[in-house]
Amino acid sequence: MRKRILSGMRPTGKLHLGHYVGALENWVTLQDEYQNFHLVADWHVLTTDYEHTNRIRKLTEEMVADWLAAGIDPEKSPIFAQSEVKEHAELFLIFSMLVTKARLERNPAVKEQARALGLEEKISYGHLGYPVLQAADILLYQAHLVPVGEDQLPHIELCREIARRFNRVYGEVFRLPQGKLTRFPRLPGPDGKRMSKSIGNVILISDKPEKVLEVVKSAITDPKKIHKNDPGNPDICNVYHWHQKFNPAETPEIVADCRNGVLGCVDCKKRCADKINEFLAPIRHRREKIIADMDAVRDILKDGAEKAHIEAAQTMEAVRNAMGIG
Ligand code: TRP
């Protein structure tokens, strides 16, 4: 039997290259070797924005369109929304009894998010507990592996603790999952910060070639390289990181030419944008077909929820039996 993966993302609508490099690409590669479940964490959105629920469906569908464009095959790997499989809520409730408030308050990822949003003391009960919901997402499917960014590792640790506790108290039901880090470090935005739609420093998977060129042109390079023939330092250049990812074959030559003052930033950026566009071309092509028929995307989500539900129901049956209630 193939090992199982549970991958999840919040529905943030259209995805950017950072999502692709940090997660999606990995998911696509893994789907042949593993049995994957792809979860849209729509209930998770409520932790940071419970007021604007009217947007969540649309954001889910837009994001799933990008997943499909990137090459996720729903026949191999079901795609579904968390809120369509109610077992997530049931298991979350049970798990929430197995973890202390102090333990949740120690979680660095939650702390940082609360600080960034200026919440801290005002954080909601559900927000503080979102890693517990995430544990339910993972354990319901008995996943062996969970592909995550480094920032999510504390959640995997908590998930393992909860699984261990459950197994010790009620009997062996859950497999202990492992986090699987992506190989490629996070892709910086043109400003060197982490790509984020809220800052606007992104290249979207769906961006047109002209837009890609515009963003690449805006990228901050070595500030000491002012004239074309000034020698540059690629280590502090954001375009260099993009070349590494999207233009690996020419990168050594580009690095040498930059250092020697032979290659100017204007040309370098043009070459970089061309490579990104080359890379995005087949994805864009698939995406256009997909968004022309959003009913098909909705059907994929429905079908995925049915498949996910079969697994989730089985796990909950084992949970209820182990506990002797429900
Ligand atoms: N918390 C994750 C994020 O913010 C999304 C997520 C929810 C997730 N459930 C998951 C990721 C299960 C992996 C596994 O990005």
Q: How far is the CA of 39 from the centre of ligand 1 (A)?
A: 8
What is the reported pLDDT for 198?
Answer: 83
CATH H-level, domain 4-187+294-323: superfamily: HUPs (3.40.50.620)
Q: How far is the CA of 240 from the centre of ligand 1 (A)?
A: 30
Taking the CA of residue 82 as reference, the ligand 1 atom at the shortest distance is 9
Taking the CA of residue 131 as reference, the ligand 1 atom at the shortest distance is 1
Helix (H, G, I), strand (E, B) or coil at 7: strand
pTM for this prediction: 0.94
What is the reported pLDDT for 149?
Answer: 85
List the beta bridge partners of residue 188: 194
Taking the CA of residue 147 as reference, the ligand 1 atom at the shortest distance is 13
The pick from 9, 46, 77 for probing ligand 1's pocket by mutation, whose C-beta has the most ligand atoms within 8 angstroms, reads 9
Residue that is written with structure tokens 């592996």 in the block: 145
Domain with CATH 1.10.240.10 in the chain: 209-287
pLDDT, tens digit, for every residue of 171-192? 999 999 999 988 776 789 999 9
pLDDT, tens digit, for every residue of 94-124? 999 999 999 999 999 888 888 888 887 889 9
What is the reported pLDDT for 124?
Answer: 94
Q: How far is the CA of 142 from the centre of ligand 1 (A)?
A: 15
Tens digit of pLDDT at every position of the chain (326 positions): 899 999 999 999 999 999 999 899 999 999 999 999 999 999 999 999 999 999 999 999 999 999 999 999 999 999 999 999 999 999 999 999 999 999 999 999 888 888 888 887 889 999 999 999 999 999 999 999 999 988 899 999 999 999 999 999 999 999 999 999 887 767 899 999 989 888 889 999 999 999 999 999 999 999 999 999 999 999 999 999 999 999 999 999 999 999 999 999 999 999 999 999 999 999 999 999 999 999 999 999 999 999 999 999 999 999 999 999 99
Q: Whose CA is nearest to atom 15 of ligand 1?
A: 9
Q: Whose CA is nearest to atom 11 of ligand 1?
A: 8
Of 180, 192, 149, 200, residue with least CA distance to 14: 200
What is the reported pLDDT for 97?
Answer: 98
CATH 1.20.200.10 applies to domain 209-287: no
What is the reported pLDDT for 199?
Answer: 87
What is the reported pLDDT for 295?
Answer: 98
Residue 180: in which H helix or E strand, if any?
strand 178-181
Residue 265: in which H helix or E strand, if any?
helix 265-291
Pocket of ligand 1 (CB under 6 A): 6, 8-10, 39, 41, 44, 134, 137-138, 146, 148
Q: Whose CA is nearest to atom 9 of ligand 1?
A: 134
Taking the CA of residue 149 as reference, the ligand 1 atom at the shortest distance is 15
DSSP tag of 177:
P
Domain with CATH 3.40.50.620 in the chain: 4-187+294-323
Q: Whose CA is nearest to atom 13 of ligand 1?
A: 8
Q: How far is the CA of 10 from the centre of ligand 1 (A)?
A: 7
